[in-house]
Structure formats: structure tokens, C-alpha cells
Structure 1
Amino acid sequence: MALASTAAIKGWHLHQFDANNAFLNGELNEEIYMKKPPGYTKGQPDQVCKLNKSLYGLKHTSRQWYDNFSTSLVAFGFTQSKANYSLFTCITPTTFTALLVYVDDIVVASNSLESISVLKTFLNTHLRIKDLGTLRYFLGIEVSRSPSGIHLCQRKYTLDILVDSSNLACKPLKLPMEQNHKLSKSSRTPLADPTSYRQLIGRLLYLTLTKPDISYPIQVLSQCMDHPSISHLAAAHKVLRYLKNAPGQDILLSSSSPLQLRGCCDLDWASCPDTRKSVTGFCIFLGHSLISWRSKKQTVVSRSSAEEEYRAMASISTELTWLQQLFIDLSIPHPQATELFCDNQTALRIAANPVFHERTKHIEVDCHLIRDKIKKVASRLLMFTPTHTF
């Protein structure tokens, strides 16, 4: 998402490649044997086959393919990112090229079509790839470009879920989940066959890549996958009815956004009825474009909402730090301070106070990284702005 948003702002070209028989091109660096395939009768019954190259179904296959791929790119002049090991960049005085790989699907962003053509020739020579042209459909995400920016949508994927769950003709809802609706694992009437529920939630989890508005309900429903009940399935179908309201809703990565990172965090204190743990939620913007979000239950039970807000600030700070490092790998300057919005005054005071007192001495040391960020305000690495709107 960060790469696509940057490409929209910078006007980079986006192309897509696909590797042909990727898992058959890996060179094995160790001896591996396999049983003879069914129907092969030559040789002795107890004989086995020695593999000369990787094979589909072999657990070493994906690793060997990636090693071969990354080694070839580094030899070509690319540098592997330390923030995201699936990202490779190549920088010259006049051109910039970024390559992002997921298994055997490749996305290339560059300010030069000639650089993309040279890269395509190299990859086709060494790894045998297929040029799919301008990026339009990647991992179930529909990508379209307009003067206003890049649009990311999962309309086809959403409609497939509605069809498979027999909800295509359902009455749409305006909300995915009622306010203050609590779902407990101890709900009665468990499902006779929980497989369909688990499959549905798994598909909806992938849908949160472009629909942040369902992140919270899916986060709640995914915690009940071990013993789902009829009430959990009914809540999942309400999410489907909400998706029916606007299956083609997309995310716009604006082309006119400034290269300024902003983050907002909040939490629902002690909202889990089973563990009394809080749920942290945050979203990060690059200018006007939403590029990262999360809804996750915290790992500990805290004594106050201020402590939970403090932990939420620490959580989003790690994400902002990672994005800043990613921008360095993308050669994107970000000299201005990153804004972090929080609506809890007590948490802001704890973060600004370097003295460990009775209210904070039980908090883990890793949560106090937020204090180190505040100390770097003078160098304009991070800036906190209290606000009451989230």
C-alpha cells in the first residue's frame, strides 16, 4: 500500500510480471530423495529418486526459488530492503526502480519505462517470466488509475464471497456490527460443522486489505474460530449484508497528497467479554491516503484506560518507525515530523514524563519506546498532537 501510494504521488509507472513455473527453476543445494511416483515400475521396489531440481510439493521449493530470484536481482544491481525483504530497489542518477515480489507475482514501479523494459529482458532471460503489462489485477485486488490517483478495489472477490454464501440477493445493511455488540466464546448452540464458518472468516480477513471498515468486526469474529456458534455465524452474515451495500467500494491513493505521515490511535477498553482485554485500533495516512490500519486485541489486561492508550501509542509508533525506514529504502525524503494523534491526555503526560512512578512502573520496558520518540522531537523525527477527534 505504501509503494502504491508513493507511485501515485510520484507518477511512477506500475507493471506486473508473472514467473513461469517458478517452483521448477530452483537449484537444490542439498541432496533430496523422493519416492517413485505411482505407476512407475522400473528398477527395484525399494529404490528412490534423487532430485536434481526443485519440485512442486517440496517444502524447500519456495525457499530455493526465492534464493535464486534474490541472488539474480542483487547481481543485476538491485538492493534488498531491510524493512521489507520482498522489496528490491535499483537507483541510478536518473532512474529509480522498485520491485515487489509475492511468491511468483511481481510488481515493478519505476519512473522510466526503459528501465522496466531492461528489467523485463533480464528476468525473462534468467527466470522466464510473463509480462502482464500495466498493473490492473494483483492477488485479487483490482487496480485502476485516474488523474485523481490509484484506486484499489476487491469488487470481484467480494461478489464471489456473496455468491458462495448465498447472500447475493440479501437485504443490505448500513453497519457491519451493532454498536456495543459483544460476542463471547461461551455462546450457546455451537455449529455442527464449523468448517464453513472458518472458511468464511478466512476469506473476509483477506478482504480487509482494501476495506478497513470491517477490520474490527472481522477481528472479533476471528477469535471465535475454535468453537463458533450460531450467533457468531449470524454476526458474520451481517458483515456480508453490509458488504452487499457497496461491494465495489475502493480505496483512493491520491496523486495530490503531500509526503507527510500521520497516525491516529484509539482503543476500546476492556471490551473483550472473555478476557477483559482491550482492543487497539490505529490508522496511518500518507498525506490524504490511508496506507496502514489495524484492529488487534492487546496481549495483557491493564489496570486503567490511560495505560492501554499508552500501549496503543507504542504500537503505532513501531509501525510509523517501520514506514520511515521503508521510505528511506524507497529514497523518499521525509524531513518533517510525523504526527501522532491521541485523545487521552493522561497517556500523553505519561509519554512525556521520563520519571517512572507508581502508575507506570509495572508497564513493560518495550512500551516506553514512545518516550525515546518524544526525545527526538528536536530532530523532527516524531511529533505528538493531542486531539479529541478520531
Structure 2
Amino acid sequence: MHEEFNALTKQHTWYLVPKPEGVNVIRCMWLFRHKYRNTGDLQRYKAPLVANGKSQQVGIYCDETFSLVVKSATIRTVLSIAMASSDGLRDRILSQLNAEFSMTCLGKLSYFLAISLQRTPNGMFLCQKKYVEDIIQRANMRHCKPVATSVDTNSKLGASDGSLVADPTLY
């Protein structure tokens, strides 16, 4: 928790101001959880600070909340760093990024945003099997029987408007 608090302070995520009268204060809370390696071993403890939605009022301050959304450019950057052809290139990229952002190098990327990453001779293989298994476990559906679901793999996006073009007689 102290590490997270210090990181948020160092990044100037907020600054303290006196509470104006008549203003609804949106409280925050620490969420304590564990971060595991892809082997299942405990890697470290995490304690992100999040807004407590129960203290919000519908229609008030809702446009001022922060939501963690990763931009596709960020994902491409992280995957590019992971696939850098040499350690020297990766180190140069990380040192340039570290000049702007506080970062910790945790070694070679193997799991990112619930996506498992495996390097292959042709590039990388991305898989969300563990993520799906975690969802099934949380929903208490681990012992449910699987059911085949037909999928039309020949469907194409339309050229002009992006709508799905499919032959309904295939179903």
C-alpha cells in the first residue's frame, strides 16, 4: 500500500485541497489482492487505490471519475518491447520510457492484461485461456459440461458500412 501511495504521489496523480462546502466527497478504498506468476507462484501483493462508487450520486460527478482503460497504442508498445530483437534494443526503449514514467522491470513479458504471451520462432502467441478459466471458476461453472456452439467462420465484414455479411441459411 505504501509503494502504491508513493507511486501515485510521485506521479502527481492528485494534490490536496481544502474541501469546499456543499461538495460531495467521493471516498476511495484500497483493494488488496495477490499477483501471481504464470507458474501460479505468488509474485507480489498489490494494493490499488480505487474510487468507492457507493459515495457517488447518480448524475453528479459521474463525468469526473477515472477509469482504467488501456489504449491500443500502449498495448502495441508493450508488445513491441517484449518482442525487441535484442536485450540492448529493449533496454534503450525502456530507458527512454523510464525518463517519462516511473517503471519497474519485472523481466521478460509472459502475462499482460489477462493475456498470456509465448514467444515462437515466428513471433508471439497470445492466449486468454487462463483468463477464461478464471471467469469460469468465479462463476462456479468449473464442473459444467461444455456444449458445442456453431460458429460461421466464413462471415465477412461488409466493404462499405462495416456491417456483418452472412448467409442466414447456413444456420
Q: TM-score range by the shorter chain?
A: 0.3 to 0.5
Q: Give the structure, 1 or 2, with the largest relative contact order (CA under 8 Å, sep 6 or more).
A: 1
Q: Normalising to structure 2: TM-score of the pair?
A: 0.47
Larger radius of gyration: 1
Instruction: Flag the structure with higher helix content.
Output: 1
Q: Normalising to structure 1: TM-score of the pair?
A: 0.24
Instruction: Flag the structure with higher strand content.
Output: 1
